[in-house]
Amino acid sequence: MKYTYSALLLALVLLIAMLVNLFASFYNGDDKLTPQGEPRYHFILITQDNNDPFWTMYKNGATKAGETKNVFVEFVDIKYKDAALTINAVEMAILSNVDGIALQPFDVKESTEILQKVRDANITAITFENDVFYIPEISTVGSNSYEVGFASGEMAAAASGGKADIAVLVNDPGAKDSKQYNSIKYQGLLEAISKYPEMTVSQIYTLDTRMFEVDKLTNTILNENPDIDLIICSDSENTPGVAQVVIDSGKVGNVKIIGYGAMPQTMNYIKDGVVYGTIAADSYSIGYNTVIQLADIFDGKQISEFYNTDIYAITSRNLEEYREIFKTEEK
């Protein structure tokens, strides 16, 4: 019993010592106890809720940057590229009195108006994956549309041996100024294929992403334009749809496909030889630098108006490497 009491007394002394050390670690010398590691800022990032690995990687990068800069990073998912949903999410963030907001613009007019509301509320704003919808005094982080188009053209040349009749699928989200975005990508594409006299863009097709009409449009391309033997996609969600129509039409191998993004289906189609390759944004870097740029603004640092991130060119040769990066499993 004597030894039991001694052991309990020793344990109590050790516990008291641990508590003293714990409280001392929070003591700031001003008769106040402050939580260790309290975030310096609170940022809200407007993201999308879908199965595109872009957003998983984007969030991972932003979260890591938040840890690096001691910033609380909160994500608000919207279901699709919907202007009304985005505006509502931003307005709710303003009411939350956060320090910074980041979003992907959907046009110039409404995006500018909602971002002006953000600034009127003395909240710092930044955009990402936007090098076309120029919004004064708002910096942006993301891939360069011209470089994306150029990389697509280079991949198309490799896929076709420098000889192809090309159909290009571009998105029209309903904003009249989206044509500028498509034009910049198209300029890059034309530059890349300009040294191949037997490569021509036969047709550009506009796809309304809100109508989910990729199957219908791809069938139209294949049926009405039999000379087209290469299709270039500009959207990650539409690439698998184009590939499936080519499979159903029995034209795998005869019609090459250059995709965009790293959706799991797209990666599987590359392995199966249905899609030659795809261009993907470095979304981890985009997320990371979105938060870094916002934090740097608050820290009084000068940031660039456009922070360009890398892009990836993925084919069967490096597929497994990028499966690991984007965490997509083979099916």
Instruction: Name which of 64-68, 158-162, 200-204 the model is least confident about.
Output: 200-204
Is residue 128 predicted with pLDDT exceeding 70?
Answer: yes
φ, ψ of residue 206 in degrees (nearest 5): -95, 130
More confident residue, 119 or 175: 119
Tell me the fold of 41-143+283-300. Answer: Rossmann fold (3.40.50)
pLDDT at residue 133, rounded to an integer? 75
What's the whole-number average pLDDT of the chain?
A: 85
Sign of the Cα torsion 154, 262, 144, 166 reads: positive
Instruction: Give 242-295 pLDDT, tens digit per residue.
Output: 999 999 999 999 999 999 999 999 999 999 999 999 999 999 999 999 999 999
In the chain, residues under CATH classification 3.40.50.2300 are: 41-143+283-300, 145-281+316-326
Which CATH architecture is the domain 145-281+316-326 placed in?
Answer: 3-Layer(aba) Sandwich (3.40)
How far is residue 79 from each of residues 46, 63, 101, 311, measured CA to CA in Å?
11, 21, 18, 25
pTM listed for this prediction: 0.84
Is residue 79 predicted with pLDDT exceeding 90?
Answer: no
Instruction: Give 26-35 pLDDT, tens digit per residue.
Output: 333 333 333 3
pLDDT at residue 237, rounded to an integer? 87
φ, ψ of residue 185 in degrees (nearest 5): -60, -40
